[in-house]
Amino acid sequence: MRGDRGVPLSARLDQFFAGLPEAARGRLPATPTGLIAFRLVADDAPPSTWFVTLADGRARVDRHGHDPDCVVETRPETLERLVAGVDHIVAMLFRGVVSVEGDLSLFLVFRRLLPAPADSTASEPAAGISPSAERDGIGRQDTTGIFYGNMFMISTRSGDVETEPATPLGLFFFDTRFLSTWRLSVDSERLTELSIDDVRSFESKFALAPGQPTHYVNATTSVLRHRWLGEAFEEEVTLFNYGAEPARYTVRLDVGADFAEVQEIRDGVRRPREVTTTIDDSSLRLHYRRGTLHRETAVCASEPARVDGRGFTFTVSLDPHETWTVRLRVLTLVRDLHRRDLRERLRSSTHRSRAEAGREIDGIVAAVPGLRADHGPLSEAYRRGVRDLAALYYQGLNFLDRLPATGLPWSMTLLGRESLVSSLQALPFLPHRAVSTLRILALSQGARIDPFRGEQPGRILQESRYGESAAFADTPDAADFSAADTTPLFVILLDEYERWTGDAELVRRYEFEVRAAIAWLDDYADPVGDGYVWSTRRQRRTGPVNESWRSSVQSICFRDGRLATFPQAICEIQGYAYDARLRAARMARLFWDDPAYADRLERAAAALRERFDRDFWLPERGCYALALQSDGQRVDALASNVGHLLWSGIVAPERAERLVGHLLGPALFSGWGVRTLASTEGQFNPLGHHTGAIWPADNSLIVWGLRRYGFRQEAARIALALLEAGQHFQGALPPYFAGYDRAVTRVPVPHHFTDSPYAPSAGAPLLLLRALLGLEPHDDHLAVDAGVPEEMGQIELLDIRGRWGYADALGRGRPFR
């Protein structure tokens, strides 16, 4: 067998493995450690096995070994594609061309030993993707959902799923819709909601009656649907006959799966897929295959039924006041090259029962600091935020620990920026979220130079998805690094975590990753060569985007509405880079015994602050530019980004008051919060996600920045407005809502179908609470400097955990002077 370059494939792989000890120098972190066995299986030769030991930043290679921690089985030509840089580990796994048993994190660390140049663009593009139908009129208020890990079910309020491709209803798992039809009827009549009990985040109950609402005043038949998520989706359907006579019913469950990806539904596109069905042992199986990829939905019932390719029909006879129950079970299967479900062989895939999951969430919630507050909206937002963040995790295939999820339905996966921000927001309350976030982002840190994914050595991941597009590299979603802010935020979170917890060991463990992140800021992040972090233009199915949290292209604009050219040095990212260097300097001096490195970082941060003030300040507007173009032109729109500059500390003290005047002025502050773009700007639209809408997470960082610069009254004003807005969303702030003036709409105007819950919005009330109480760690004690407005009354936060042990904080509402 020969490769493309004329050298026998086996010889090229032998050379690769033989060179690993030398290649590992300076490229491996100290942890994790373990033994990987690579088992290469060819049609025309016996299996060949290589053993690679990773320990203490070094690699050792052998042809013999025992008890490996991770076994990787694939074909030689598949491994050659990985080594050559034309494939990616996660994409290979989900395409079913590699099988991994044991600790997958070791295989992911092994990535760092691969040659740096890469281009993993799809070699076989997907079949034509076309615009889908317009999204129908179903909104968040018309639906109900449950979630467990990154499996979730969203249905109408009767419990049914009957959807067109652009409707975000169904059973989803790993970014794929495994049920697009789940419709229950009795004697050909649809069911109508009587009540819904949202028992837990993963469990709900529906009380229903057949027919239209006007018919069930004297109804003698009713139905209870009880559903829950765990390893599978399960639903119990109970039929009640309250009549005086025996009754015979035909109960029908229509079932279908389109295997659409959640991103396709979000973006309003569709891809043709051929779904096949098989019927065996009274179960219905729906299959989708593309090459080696195999997705399967398996549905079975506990009671006898007539099964056809479209569902189940039950014939039920009930005496008066008798009941009948059927349990339905749906498995979502992701097959590997041996046709096993991927989760069967990975140690990382440890499942919890429904009772265990409930106890775990209850335990997390019970351990947070206790809040006593006179202000009802604060109490409700705190309770909802803590519970949502406790539930927003999933058991990924690529790590031993649970991974932070972001939101339902569009973001039930790992998003780097959103996980970092929500971890920062929740640090005083849920410190383990920071640990989980840091672990997976350190593990997946960039190691190659792959333009398709935006991967560069030291860069921190932004997105990791598991759907078909990711598997076949139709999109870079398996490992997408196209964010310019995740890398400095990673450094900021690690330092802030240590300041709160005193966990010096974690700082020492991630020294390698922090140094790589700082090196990325110094090198790859600055293609212009002027010391700034630059955002490049990335192409998506829906059009071009930039690499900031305000990713839509129109969000980086001039005052007159013109769009900025690429690349762009976006202002708040420079603030993050400034803060990251100072924090890395602190860690280097205190924990890594490298004062020279600390001195260099502090000098670089000081130079950046001076240069930033010179290049970004707009004296005629009294604010910093939103961005710079590569030609040096200042992008002069007024946006909420300037509030992040206060949080980072890059703002010259004499400039702060003018920035605060803008943030609380009528152009940016709507009465419910700070808009993403001022109403005076040419691109302003109160419904625009990044050109006028209000993002609670954005506002929470602004509030934190205001407190940092001593503007406690202004911080309290924004915090109070957001909490009052939350009352109109049942205490659960959405990702964003419209930026209309409060005096005009009287209530905050929601967007059509946003994530709910959404981790950075769930974390926003927690950061607001920290800011209101003025909580700051100082060495081994907690400083409290409350700035509570009079109308909020008294706030007590009890048993705040940290390096000091436990502490309490009290804030009494007082008039500001």
716 Cβ neighbours under 8 A, 6+ residues apart: 772, 787, 788, 789, 792, 816
d(CA 416, CA 487): 9
Model pLDDT, residue 352: 62
Q: Residue 639: name the closest of 703, 683, 700, 577 by CA.
A: 683
The secondary structure element, H or E, covering residue 16 is helix 9-18
Summarize pLDDT for 542-564 with one digit per residue, the tens: 777 899 999 999 999 999 999 99
Question: What DSSP designation does 555 have?
Answer: G
Bridge-partner residues for 208, per DSSP?
193, 223
Q: How confident is the model at residue 137 (pLDDT cuts 50, 70, 90)?
A: very low
Beta strand pairing call for 221-229 and 203-210: antiparallel
Summarize pLDDT for 329-349 with one digit per residue, the tens: 999 998 765 566 655 544 444
What the block records as the tokens of 517 is 């992140």
Q: Residue 101: name the closest of 296, 291, 349 by CA.
A: 349
769 Cβ neighbours under 8 A, 6+ residues apart: 371, 378, 382, 795, 797
d(CA 212, CA 811): 53
What the block records as the tokens of 659 is 């920035």
Taking 80 as the threshold, does the pLDDT of residue 509 lie above it? yes
d(CA 291, CA 142): 38
d(CA 504, CA 591): 7
Give whole-number Cα distances, 152 to 50, 149, 231, 466, in Å. 40, 8, 11, 15
Model pLDDT, residue 347: 45
380 Cβ neighbours under 8 A, 6+ residues apart: 726, 727, 731
Phi-psi region of 483 (alpha: psi -120 to 50; beta: other; left: phi over 0): beta
Is the omega angle on the peptide bond into residue 567 within 30 degrees of 0, that is, cis? Answer: yes
- How many other CB atoms are there within 10 angstroms of residue 195's CB atom? 9
Give whole-number Cα distances, 437 to 406, 419, 492, 493, in Å. 11, 6, 12, 9
d(CA 137, CA 609): 49
**3-class state of residue 455 by DSSP:** strand
What the block records as the tokens of 256 is 């279908």
**3-class state of residue 413 by DSSP:** coil
Phi-psi region of 211 (alpha: psi -120 to 50; beta: other; left: phi over 0): left
Spatial contact of 337 and 97, defined as CB atoms under 8 Å apart = yes
Spatial contact of 461 and 416, defined as CB atoms under 8 Å apart = yes
What the block records as the tokens of 407 is 């939101």
Is the omega angle on the peptide bond into residue 272 within 30 degrees of 0, that is, cis? Answer: no
Rounded to 5 degrees, φ, ψ at 507 are: -65, -40
Give whole-number Cα distances, 322 to 24, 195, 719, 816, in Å. 70, 21, 54, 66
Q: Report the amino acid identity of residue 681.
A: E
Q: Which of 91-95, 254-258, 537-541 has the largest mean confidence?
A: 254-258
Q: In what order do the strands lie in the sheet with 176-179?
A: 143-148, 151-156, 170-173, 176-179
Residues, the chain? 817
Q: Give the DSSP letter string of 673-732.
A: SBBSB-TTSTT--TT-TTTT-B-HHHHHHHHHHHHHTT-HHHHHHHHHHHHHHHGGGTT-
Average pLDDT across the chain, whole number:
92
pTM, 2 dp: 0.95
Q: Report the amino acid identity of residue 763.
A: G
Taking 90 as the threshold, does the pLDDT of residue 444 lie above it? yes
Rounded to 5 degrees, φ, ψ at 177 are: -85, 110
Q: Residue 429: name the closest of 379, 371, 353 by CA.
A: 371
Outline where 502-594 has alpha helix (H). Answer: 504-509, 511-522, 571-590
Residue indicated by tokens 């000081």: 606
Residue 350 CA to its chain's centroid (Å): 20
Is the omega angle on the peptide bond into residue 210 within 30 degrees of 0, that is, cis? Answer: no
Spatial contact of 557 and 635, defined as CB atoms under 8 Å apart = yes
Spatial contact of 68 and 51, defined as CB atoms under 8 Å apart = yes
Taking 60 as the threshold, does the pLDDT of residue 630 lie above it? yes
Spatial contact of 227 and 209, defined as CB atoms under 8 Å apart = no
Helices 656-663 and 712-726: crossing angle, nearest 10°?
20
pLDDT more than 70, % of the chain: 93
Q: How confident is the model at residue 243 (pLDDT cuts 50, 70, 90)?
A: very high
Taking 60 as the threshold, does the pLDDT of residue 807 lie above it? yes
Q: Residue 674: name the closest of 652, 705, 707, 641 by CA.
A: 641
Summarize pLDDT for 36-64 with one digit per residue, the tens: 999 999 988 889 999 999 999 999 999 99
The secondary structure element, H or E, covering residue 463 is strand 463-464
Beta strand pairing call for 70-74 and 34-42: parallel
Mean pLDDT, residues 507-526 taken together: 98
Outline where 96-139 has alpha helix (H). Answer: 104-110
d(CA 807, CA 800): 5
The C-alpha R_g of the chain, in whole angstroms, comes to 28
Question: What DSSP designation does 407 have?
Answer: B
Model pLDDT, residue 141: 66
> 610-616 — which CB contacts under 8 Å span 24+ positions?
611/530, 611/531, 612/574, 612/575, 612/578, 612/650, 613/652, 613/655, 616/571, 616/574
Question: Counting Cβ atoms within 10 Å, is residue 598 exposed (0-12), middle (13-18) or buried (19+)?
Answer: buried
Give whole-number Cα distances, 380 to 202, 421, 424, 476, 723, in Å. 20, 21, 21, 39, 9
Q: Residue 660: name the closest of 671, 645, 648 by CA.
A: 645
Model pLDDT, residue 127: 62
> Of 235-244, 533-542, 654-663, which gets the smallest average pLDDT?
533-542
Q: Residue 351: name the closest of 211, 153, 148 by CA.
A: 148
d(CA 122, CA 291): 13
- How many other CB atoms are there within 10 angstroms of residue 142's CB atom? 12
d(CA 695, CA 677): 11
d(CA 140, CA 154): 10
> Of 346-360, 623-637, 739-753, which gets the smallest average pLDDT?
346-360
Rounded to 5 degrees, φ, ψ at 196 are: -130, 135
**3-class state of residue 196 by DSSP:** strand
Summarize pLDDT for 384-427 with one digit per residue, the tens: 999 999 999 988 765 456 899 999 999 999 999 999 999 999 99
**3-class state of residue 122 by DSSP:** coil
Spatial contact of 29 and 57, defined as CB atoms under 8 Å apart = yes
Beta strand pairing call for 170-173 and 189-200: unpaired
Summarize pLDDT for 173-224 with one digit per residue, the tens: 999 999 999 999 999 999 999 999 999 999 999 999 998 765 555 688 999 9
Rounded to 5 degrees, φ, ψ at 71 are: -115, 120
